[in-house]
Structure 1
Amino acid sequence: MSAAMYTRPLGSGAGPAPPAASTEAGPDLIAQSHQRSEAYGITANTEPDFSSPGRSVLTEALDENRFLFQHAAPVMETLYDQIVNTHSMVLLTSAKGMVLHSLGDTDFLEKASRVALTPGMDWSEQTKGTNAIGTALTEEEALTVHGNQHYLNANKFLTCSAAPIFDPYGQVIGALDVTGDHRSFHQHTLALVRMSAQMIENHMFADIFPKAIRIHFHTRSEFLGTLVESIAVFSPEGRFISANRSGQFQIGLPFAALKAHTFSSLFGLPISALFELFSGAMPNPKQLCLHNGVSVWCRVKIKQANPWSAAKPMGQAQEPAAEAPAGATAAPFRHSVKKTQFSTLHYLDTGDPQVSNVIHKLRMVSGKDIPVMILGETGTGKDLLAQAIHGDSPRSAQPFVSVNCASIPETLIESELFGYEEGAFTGARKKGSIGKILQAHGGTLFLDEIGDMPKHLQARLLRVLQERRVSPLGAGKEVDVDVAVVCATHKNIKDMIARGDFREDLYYRLNGLVVRLPALRERTDFELVVKKILHTLCENGAQIGISAQVMDLFKRYHWPGNFRQLHNLLRTAVVMVGCQGSIEMGHLPDDFLEELEHGLPNPIPARFAGHIASAPPLPDMPSTAPMPEPIAEGGRLQDVALSAMAQMLRLHKGNVSAAAKALGVSRNTIYRKKDQLPPDVL
């Protein structure tokens, strides 16, 4: 999706503006920022400040920004999935510029730490001079600061793209940033950051107004339910409460001016007429006319009084809360109705014998209150399978609550899981929080990446599962809870138990039925999977094909990111094709084509060389490098890769950088497999 479909960020008093066309901050903006930096008393040769404000300050900042973090963390994961192995990192900051959370490639995180680009550090203009985070927060505008545009000399090896995040009341609440090596700069990065910031804002809109009426509208009906739709929120009496940036742009009024309006003054009909228009059992989008004469297509949603229940369209049954498939969280093309199609075991059974066996076992234990543990590599669809287990269970009408144990900071995961009472800690919200476990009462609790749960919380979780009672932080009583438990991990839990990193008693409480999802490269139903994903990415019944040449390359590729990588790749290709015609080589990203050129046993034909960006050749394998030991017939491709990594690490005496260079992979690839490698090689 092009950046031109996004509006320029609006502050609480700014008027609508057309989309920004440039990806880098203009010279005037940079010059003004440099002038401010000088006025702050900063000099270009100022050394990075490594003085940490202390863990308690970061913990307090995370508590104060809990609402922002809850909605930003899953979007950050999806954004990082799209830039992984590009020597980059994703950062979330507060409105004051303090880094709250970061995800990134291991090699680049090390470089970032040299300039204090780490959680807890202040990256406002007042302390770091011109930089994307601080300048975006100051200008309230998405921008890129590239290389020498940074004010401090120490930061000029960076390229940073940041977008401010606005809360549902039009105030800046934080910033989202992608920072990388300036030599690896990509023009599309700022568009991805804009898209992700908009997604965070829309998620906050869906959660913050418990009894409000939400109007979702756009001049084109096919954009309803996508990232770029406009949202306006009104009280049940029709009083204007809020609108997202796209909504402000289409209505043609800034946030401050909208506060004086009502639904009637903006849409030209009383609020009672809106209820009548959308009172049918399956209300279709309706066309309304804004006060400025612009005709828009509308859908209406209203939240129930229960603040934990999900939004539902007027006149429609409540949908179970569900996340998108692995790697598809950020997809702006899929309507919510298609998510329910994904959430059944029958839909997931696409003919692969290994998957069919998994689904058969799951059907045998459905409704029997047997905990399920899902194993598999990152991106194989463990979260999607968990949703399907819930969707086919007797609990399907009750909540499905997902907790990613790896994405929540250790300082917050206890309160996120178990909840807390008002005043339990500094920054605790009024009336407290019931926690994820109690949110799942009557339904299913999905503990994703359970292997990353801190050791000190494993005992508390075990007690909850044994006694079916939970005690929120600061509470003097326990509350009964009834949940079905599904967990997932890509780690070897038994090895973690042997090292003392995971409680054995908790493991045996969680592994009532253990199933393993095969990696994408191991599946026999690849073509059908591709077709199903393409079907979800095209709207209004549009058909899109895929050329035999591309499909052949796909089948020979090893897909280290599994379905998440495949989905992101197809989503980009669909945008390039426009849901008309067939995906050809020219529709695939350059970095993917480069990897194909160097990584497949048969190089891609020379006639496609024009589609591949120039890149330095990968280093040759040392002539003394041993070949991987032969794998027994029926052995997995993953075993071959692990054997090659182990032998190369032994050859280079545990030097990860040298081994990765010799294998033609990134260091991060080896680090991701370290738990599966023999202990003597690292």
Structure 2
Amino acid sequence: MVLETLRSPSSAATSTVAASWCRSAFAHGLTPDDVPLRDRLDQAALSAARAEHETMLQVAAPILDNIYRSVGRSGCAVILSDAKGVILEQRSGDGDVAAFTAAGLVEGAIWSEAEQGTNGIGTCLFEGKPVVIHRDQHFASRNVDMSCMDAPVHDPQGRLAGALDISSCRDDHGPAMAEMMAALVRDAALKIERDYFCRHYAGRRIILLSDDAATGSALLAVDRDDLVVGASRAARVRLRLTDDALSKPHPLSQLLGEDVRPSFDDADRTVLRQALAQAGGNASRAARLLGIGRATLYRRLARAGLSS
């Protein structure tokens, strides 16, 4: 099937898989029966790669564990790679270790499309979107015993950070099972992105704009002055934000399209309401919190249209 597709000059336009087969052959110079042996990082290089992605790995660990609890008994491995296709984390059962090791699905192995041809991790990273590469959809002949379901993971700046993968070496896992696993891996990848963003902007206020099954949580990070200092990939897509647009802080209201001009009165009103709330509505205590007298507090309340 791979060779037939490569003989057709228009085949790349028919599907993601066909386009990947064409890249594997014509751009990467690979042939299905002669893909070079898989490279694998030595321990020092793997440790350096893991250190570079330490925060992502910390955030992802409980999510990987949770996925593995769901799919591990069915003979699947759960894998997280970096954006270069290097496997940073892997979960598999004791009875399946030999099969996954023989397939090269081990920590430190490099599964970029350029190295291995069409495969779940590499093709997901190239396309930047979820993919399912089921058995003979792999480019390399030696990989056709595997099924791989992948989804991209983006960092807090919206950049591609890696791929989350569920792989199976069992021949009783058909396309229907693959689609179920694909839905699971997509959801988990979006959870990693969400938690990664929140960890990165810990200490900032996080604003949830929306949740979308395809793009994930649209999140904004704002400072104490309501200036936006970060946006998740989903928020960037929703609000059409670029790195240039976010290079300087913007008022939250401005990014949300609200025509609100800065006002000292609004600032006073916010401070007064916060003081009253913290004081439980007691004007005397609120005045002490603000370091002003009661008479001054009442004048400011009246000017802001508030009452104690």
Report SS of the residue matched to 1:114: helix
State whether structure 2 residue 198 is matched by structure 1 residue 206.
yes
Alignment of 1:264-303 (within 5 A): 264-267=253-256, 268=258, 269=260, 276=270
Report SS of the residue matched to 1:84: helix
Identify the residue that residue 185 of structure 2 maps to in structure 1. Answer: 193
The size of the alignment, in residue pairs, is 251
Residues 1:99 and 1:271: Cα distance change in structure 2 (over 3 Å)? farther
State whether structure 2 residue 118 is matched by structure 1 residue 130.
yes
Unpaired segments of 5 or more residues in structure 2? 1-12, 279-308
Residues 1:230 and 1:178: Cα distance change in structure 2 (over 3 Å)? same
Identify the residue that residue 244 of structure 1 maps to in structure 2. Answer: 232
Once the two structures are TM-superposed, the CA of residue 81 in structure 1 deviates from its matched residue by 0.9
1: CA distance between counterparts of 2:95 and 2:252? 52
**Would the aligned equivalents of 1:87 and 1:184 in 2 still touch at CA under 8 Å?**
no
Identify the residue that residue 63 of structure 1 maps to in structure 2. Answer: 51
What is the identity, as a one-letter code, of the residue corresponding to 1:264? S
2: CA distance between counterparts of 1:51 and 1:140? 23
Alignment of 1:345-364 (within 5 A): none
State whether structure 2 residue 19 is matched by structure 1 residue 32.
yes
Identify the residue that residue 628 of structure 1 maps to in structure 2. Answer: none
Once the two structures are TM-superposed, the CA of residue 239 in structure 1 deviates from its matched residue by 3.5
2: CA distance between counterparts of 1:240 and 1:182? 50
Report SS of the residue matched to 1:117: coil
Identify the residue that residue 300 of structure 2 maps to in structure 1. Answer: none
Once the two structures are TM-superposed, the CA of residue 47 in structure 1 deviates from its matched residue by 5.3
Match of 1:235 among 220, 223, 232: 223
2: CA distance between counterparts of 1:60 and 1:109? 24
**Would the aligned equivalents of 1:98 and 1:119 in 2 still touch at CA under 8 Å?**
yes
State whether structure 2 residue 207 is matched by structure 1 residue 215.
yes
Alignment of 1:332-347 (within 5 A): none
> What does the per-residue CA deviation read over 1:287-327, in whole Å, with 9 as the maximum and x for residues that have no partner?
xxxxxxxxxxxxxxxxxxxxxxxxxxxxxxxxxxxxxxxxx
State whether structure 2 residue 240 is matched by structure 1 residue 253.
yes
Report SS of the residue matched to 1:184: coil
Alignment of 1:657-676 (within 5 A): none
2: CA distance between counterparts of 1:86 and 1:270? 58
State whether structure 2 residue 155 is matched by structure 1 residue 167.
yes
Report SS of the residue matched to 2:99: helix
**Would the aligned equivalents of 1:240 and 1:258 in 2 still touch at CA under 8 Å?**
no
**Would the aligned equivalents of 1:53 and 1:120 in 2 still touch at CA under 8 Å?**
yes
1: CA distance between counterparts of 2:127 and 2:211? 29
1: CA distance between counterparts of 2:51 and 2:240? 34
Once the two structures are TM-superposed, the CA of residue 108 in structure 1 deviates from its matched residue by 2.8
What is the identity, as a one-letter code, of the residue corresponding to 1:46? D
Alignment of 1:82-481 (within 5 A): 82-180=70-168, 181=170, 183-185=172-174, 186=177, 187-218=179-210, 229-249=217-237, 251-256=238-243, 258-259=245-246, 261-267=250-256, 268=258, 269=260, 276=270
> What does the per-residue CA deviation read over 1:96-125, in whole Å, with 9 as the maximum and x for residues that have no partner?
100111101233332121121111110000
Residues 1:149 and 1:276: Cα distance change in structure 2 (over 3 Å)? farther
What is the identity, as a one-letter code, of the residue corresponding to 2:199? D
Once the two structures are TM-superposed, the CA of residue 35 in structure 1 deviates from its matched residue by 1.5
**Would the aligned equivalents of 2:190 and 2:217 in 1 still touch at CA under 8 Å?**
no
Once the two structures are TM-superposed, the CA of residue 84 in structure 1 deviates from its matched residue by 2.3
What is the identity, as a one-letter code, of the residue corresponding to 1:191? A
2: CA distance between counterparts of 1:230 and 1:101? 27
Structure with bigger helix share is 2
2: CA distance between counterparts of 1:46 and 1:281? 71
2: CA distance between counterparts of 1:80 and 1:123? 20
**Would the aligned equivalents of 1:230 and 1:247 in 2 still touch at CA under 8 Å?**
yes
Please provide the CA RMSD for this pair.
3.1
Residues 1:209 and 1:150: Cα distance change in structure 2 (over 3 Å)? same
Once the two structures are TM-superposed, the CA of residue 86 in structure 1 deviates from its matched residue by 1.0
Report SS of the residue matched to 1:183: coil
Identify the residue that residue 663 of structure 1 maps to in structure 2. Answer: none
Unpaired segments of 5 or more residues in structure 1? 1-25, 283-682
Once the two structures are TM-superposed, the CA of residue 244 in structure 1 deviates from its matched residue by 2.3
1: CA distance between counterparts of 2:217 and 2:125? 24
Report SS of the residue matched to 2:74: coil
> What does the per-residue CA deviation read over 1:335-376, in whole Å, with 9 as the maximum and x for residues that have no partner?
xxxxxxxxxxxxxxxxxxxxxxxxxxxxxxxxxxxxxxxxxx
Report SS of the residue matched to 1:70: helix
Share of identical aligned residues, percent?
26
1: CA distance between counterparts of 2:67 and 2:277? 36
What is the identity, as a one-letter code, of the residue corresponding to 2:185? V
Identify the residue that residue 293 of structure 2 maps to in structure 1. Answer: none
What is the identity, as a one-letter code, of the residue corresponding to 2:88? L
Residues 1:27 and 1:241: Cα distance change in structure 2 (over 3 Å)? farther
Alignment of 1:642-661 (within 5 A): none
**Would the aligned equivalents of 1:98 and 1:123 in 2 still touch at CA under 8 Å?**
yes
2: CA distance between counterparts of 1:257 and 1:188? 38
Once the two structures are TM-superposed, the CA of residue 281 in structure 1 deviates from its matched residue by 6.4
Residues 1:52 and 1:97: Cα distance change in structure 2 (over 3 Å)? closer
1: CA distance between counterparts of 2:126 and 2:239? 24
2: CA distance between counterparts of 1:170 and 1:219? 16
> What does the per-residue CA deviation read over 1:635-678, in whole Å, with 9 as the maximum and x for residues that have no partner?
xxxxxxxxxxxxxxxxxxxxxxxxxxxxxxxxxxxxxxxxxxxx
Identify the residue that residue 364 of structure 1 maps to in structure 2. Answer: none
> What does the per-residue CA deviation read over 1:560-591, in whole Å, with 9 as the maximum and x for residues that have no partner?
xxxxxxxxxxxxxxxxxxxxxxxxxxxxxxxx
What is the identity, as a one-letter code, of the residue corresponding to 2:232? N
Higher relative contact order (CA 8 A, sep 6+): 2
2: CA distance between counterparts of 1:219 and 1:93? 25
Report SS of the residue matched to 2:172: helix
Report SS of the residue matched to 2:103: coil
Identify the residue that residue 377 of structure 1 maps to in structure 2. Answer: none
Report SS of the residue matched to 1:216: strand
